[in-house]
Amino acid sequence: MKRFGYIRVSNKDQNVDRQIENMRRESISERDVFIDKLSGKNYERPQYQLLKQLVRENDEIVFDSITRMGRSMNETLKEYEWFVENGVQLKFLKEPMINTSDEEDDIIKQAIQKVILTVLAAFAEKERLDIKTRQAEGIEAAKAKGRHLGRPKAKVTPEVKQAYDLWINNKITAVEAIDRSKVSKTTFYKLAKELKSREES
């Protein structure tokens, strides 16, 4: 029997330290911990798929939570069943009631476990959809208030205007103008185009 750990966060900016510490407490070697920084909406994740290729019958995979396994109810139920059918044990630190076992469970216990798993997987998917909805609502609210999303729009500052005037009158080079304007090369030329358009209008 070999023990593996699987860790997942939704994006590259999220921290995995807490989950890694939980794997250490389970005495799982760092080389046996697989980490994906991708959404849980599906199971097309490179480290997860690699782990599925490596596990053998009687091996065990430890997850911090069912949500770390995935956030799609139907897909999660399928993945869970795949491991059960292949004799791979699953351990969920936050939901021990759905841990699998190599012992022969009675039919009632299996049925109750499947019900609990279905409910937890449904909540995991709902939470993902709620997060997605809140993000979309936040973007729409910001747009309605006239907020600029993403990088702040570059503005013509006094330094840019002064540098532009000197440059356009051949008193300094473009390199000097960019340096004096304290903006990037791309931004300077973009603002210079804007200033020229103003003068011609």
Would you please indicate which residues are annotated as catalytic (active-site) residues? Answer: 10
Using CA atoms, how far apart are residues 71 and 122, in angstroms rounded to an integer?
8
Q: What's the Cα-to-Cα distance from 63 to each of 35, 75, 83, 99, 135, rounded to whole Å?
A: 11, 16, 13, 10, 27
| Position 119, amino acid | V
- Reduced to 3 states (helix: H, G, I; strand: E, B; else coil), residue 91 is strand
Angle, CA of 117, 55 and 45, to the nearest 5°: 70
- Look-up: residue for tokens 């059960």? 84
Q: What's the Cα-to-Cα distance from 52 to each of 24, 163, 200, rounded to whole Å?
A: 21, 60, 64
Of 122, 51, 119, nearest to 88 by C-alpha is 51
| Position 96, amino acid | P
Using CA atoms, how far apart are residues 134 and 54, in angstroms rounded to an integer?
38
- 18-25 contacts at long range (C-beta below 8 A, 24 or more positions apart): 18/64, 19/64, 19/68, 22/64, 22/93, 23/62
Query: Would you state the structure tokens that stand for residue 174, as one six-digit string?
Result: 């473009």
